[in-house]
Amino acid sequence: MQKSLSVYDSDGSTFAPLVVIELVSETKEEAIAWLLNRVRDKQQDGGAELLVEQLTPGAQGTEKDNPNVYVVGASWQRLLYGAEDVGLFKEFNDGSMRGFTYANKHNFKEFQGDGDGFLSMAECQYIIKHELDNLRAKDEAHVPGYPKMKLYPGKSVIRRMQSKGILVQVFPLHEKEELKRLSFSWFKKIKLSFQPLDDIRHYFGEGMALYFGFLEYFTLALIPMALIGIPYYLFDWEDYDKFTVFAGFNLVWCTVILELWKRLSASLAYGWGTLSRKKAFEEPRPGFHGVLGVNPVTGRAEPLYSNAKRQLRIYLVSVPFVLLCLYLSLYVMMIYFDMEGWALMIHDEEPTFWTGLLLFIPSIIYAVVIEIMNLIYRYAAEFLTGWENHRLESTFQNHLVLKVLVFNFFNCFASLFYIAFVMQDMVLLRQSLATLLITSQILNQIMEAFLPYWLQRRRNKKAHKRMIKTMEDKELPLSEQVKLEADMSTYLGTFDDYLELFLLFGYVSLFSCVYPLAAVLVVLNNVTEVYSDAFKMCKVFKRPFSEPAANIGVWQLAFEAMSVIAVVTNCALIGMSPKVKSYFPESETQLILWVVGFEHFLLASKFILTFVIPDVPKHIQIKLSRLEFESLEALKKRSIKVKKSRYHHSTLNSTFLWCVKPKNGEVPKNNMKGLQGE
């Protein structure tokens, strides 16, 4: 908890500010008063029962500053009850991970005294966000002061105000001392060591920690391939036949590392209490709209949208748009090959040092164009997926990931497939792969690390001065800290980070057999990626809310799909080897059948491995099974107690009725005495 800064609530109690709510400066007073009252109201009255107070301007405040900025906190008891509401898992005294309950709080390992320090600041902020998101309209017809902003019972107040633009942003505050310690152990001190994943999880949450865990694991998994690739590059560069061995190793590598990651991911998630945590019921997205109706699951009124209309939008608009974009990407690729032919013609006519450099220019230009097209398509895909009007955020993300992956895969790898299997020019394939890989890595580093920091300086020089003060460890008042963090860029999630790793995995697994240094370049990129991502999380972006996660989600499926494509690609490259062709001098059909048969054998072996290697380690399976058994036993005991209680209660009732039942319309005197005595 953040103890260095505190504010006073309207009732005079102090609390640590955890979350900031910013409304537009022109928000009407009645709407502000209504929202604050709903945040402060007791839970039984439909409120969030949180502490909230307006941020007072500091000494450097100006008239341009937004007055409608509020800090939110909660009492410690309220946070503990909230931890139970969100289903937080903590370590029990016996070492197992169990769902936290307030009544059983002293049986948890880290709970000491009044429980101060039991919850991390990230967990406290997640609880507050959960309570704010679950702040629902009661009998209000509209937001006070805004007759056109309709409300209906059960509608999330915060989501409604966000979608209508009254609520600008809700974000968690940084904790200066903890951030300082994390920064020092994470990226300020350059050293060859593992990342502090537990500290990252403690500060940013499980979703962020799993991303950095996967980034670290992927980098370490690349080291064997990089070590094998260096001698191949140095000694057998022109001997294409020997790359078949490297391709074979590639086939095994891309399958095994993904299966082992599942086990590591399960171990991390169990230790963090998210592996067996039940997924919360998903509410509609803020941008979801439709005709007001009743949800058959919750019984609450909410917008309903026809699934048939959504499917029509997907298949009649989204799919044709994606196909059109793929065609444009193909057209740009053909222009690139024309440029390659032009550069090669000039070099053949007069081979010099400069014409040799000219051979790389088309690939560099094409790599830059690919990144620009990916960026433009990303915005178009987001708009299109939002227009499809998906009800749930998870469904929205799945459709967005599918659109982006299809286009990015085609846009980045189509030229390499064309060179490898149509032109069959291995020299050009090596050159193109190296140029695309290096250029994309340079552009990604610029876009992800340097550009956000530069834009931050350009956008707000005063905020940058405050940032420098913070970096110099000078204490800032709460008002100045909030202003600084409010002006920072918003972190949009790990989507782009996973997408970059997905494309790098593709470059390595698909064609690295013809360019063995690809793994070396990706290792170097990932090492710098760790530091650049850590820097932007701590210094450039607002602190994101913690997101509980048990795995990397849909990206696991994306990487596994890429590994299947890698099996087919590497088998085809092996079949194109002159040495392999020499075994089938008379019949090309036999060669094709051999390659297809070998590819099917490897795919079958790959799928067998997925069953042979358990996703969850055995010792964790035993712990989960024991916990489930204990839960069932406790449920049985509780059920027996309830039955005994009911039986006892029914026995007393029958005795009472027997005692007071009159025989001839009168109550016997001896029964009356017995009753009076009782």
Q: Are residues 292 and 403 in the same domain?
A: yes
pLDDT(464) > 70: no
Average pLDDT rounded to a whole number, residues 525-547: 88
Q: Is residue 588 part of a domain?
A: yes
Q: Are residues 133 and 185 in the same domain?
A: no
pLDDT(220) > 70: yes
Amino acid 578: pLDDT: 78
Average pLDDT rounded to a whole number, residues 37-50: 88
Q: Give the model confidence (pLDDT) of 232-254 as tens digits.
A: 777 765 555 567 777 778 888 88
Q: Are residues 434 and 542 in the same domain?
A: yes
Q: Are residues 50 and 71 in the same domain?
A: yes
pLDDT(652) > 70: no
Q: Given 173, 200, 216, which residue is the final one in a domain?
A: 173
Q: Are residues 393 and 510 in the same domain?
A: yes
Distance CA 255, CA 258 (A): 6
Average pLDDT, the chain: 81
Q: Is residue 638 part of a domain?
A: no
Q: Given 595, 622, 649, which residue is the final one in a domain?
A: 622
Higher pLDDT, 555 or 623: 555
Using left for φ > 0, alpha for ψ between -120 and 50, and beta otherwise, residue 176 falls in: alpha
Q: Under 8 Å CB-to-CB from 95, ≥6 apart: which residues?
A: 109
Give the three-class secondary structure for 139.
coil
Q: Is residue 496 part of a domain?
A: yes
Q: Are residues 246 and 103 in the same domain?
A: no
Q: Are residues 155 and 276 in the same domain?
A: no
Closest CA to 35 of 43, 284, 27: 27
Q: Under 8 Å CB-to-CB from 199, ≥6 apart: which residues?
A: 181, 182, 185, 186
Cβ contact 90:108 at 8 Å: yes
Higher pLDDT, 222 or 137: 222
Q: Is residue 627 part of a domain?
A: no
Cβ contact 591:571 at 8 Å: no
> In the chain, what is the greatest distance between 2 CA atoms, to the nearest angstrom?
129
Q: Is residue 332 part of a domain?
A: no
Distance CA 562, CA 120 (A): 37
Q: Is residue 651 part of a domain?
A: no
CA distances from 328 to 319, 331, 569 (A): 14, 5, 24
Q: Is residue 166 part of a domain?
A: yes
Give the number of other CB atoms < 10 A from CB of residue 490: 10
Higher pLDDT, 640 or 72: 72
Amino acid 675: pLDDT: 36
Q: Are residues 161 and 194 in the same domain?
A: no
Range of the domain at 396: 180-305+389-622
Q: Are residues 236 and 253 in the same domain?
A: yes
Least confident range of 202-206, 534-538, 576-580: 576-580
Q: Given 173, 205, 223, which residue is the final one in a domain?
A: 173
Into how many domains does the chain fold? 2
- pLDDT band at residue 628 using 50, 70 and 90 as cut-offs: confident
Q: Is residue 649 part of a domain?
A: no
Long-range contacts of 387-391 (CB under 8 A, 24+ apart): 387/313, 387/317, 388/310, 388/313, 388/314, 388/318, 389/287, 389/288, 389/289, 389/290, 389/305, 389/310, 389/313, 390/285, 390/288, 390/310, 391/284, 391/285, 391/288, 391/305
Amino acid 467: pLDDT: 47
Give the residues across from 71 on adjacent strands: 20, 53
C-alpha torsion sign, points 182, 187, 188, 193: positive
Q: Are residues 464 and 485 in the same domain?
A: yes
CB-hemisphere CA count at 13 Å for 363?
A: 23
Distance CA 372, CA 409 (A): 14
Q: Give the model confidence (pLDDT) of 292-333 as tens digits.
A: 777 777 776 677 888 899 999 999 999 999 999 999 999 999
Q: Are residues 158 and 187 in the same domain?
A: no
pLDDT(216) > 90: yes
Q: Are residues 158 and 195 in the same domain?
A: no
pLDDT(630) > 90: no
Closest CA to 399 of 459, 490, 318: 318
- pLDDT band at residue 459 using 50, 70 and 90 as cut-offs: low
Cβ contact 41:49 at 8 Å: yes
- pLDDT band at residue 653 using 50, 70 and 90 as cut-offs: low
Distance CA 593, CA 496 (A): 40
Amino acid 4: pLDDT: 47
- pLDDT band at residue 201 using 50, 70 and 90 as cut-offs: very high
- pLDDT band at residue 673 using 50, 70 and 90 as cut-offs: very low
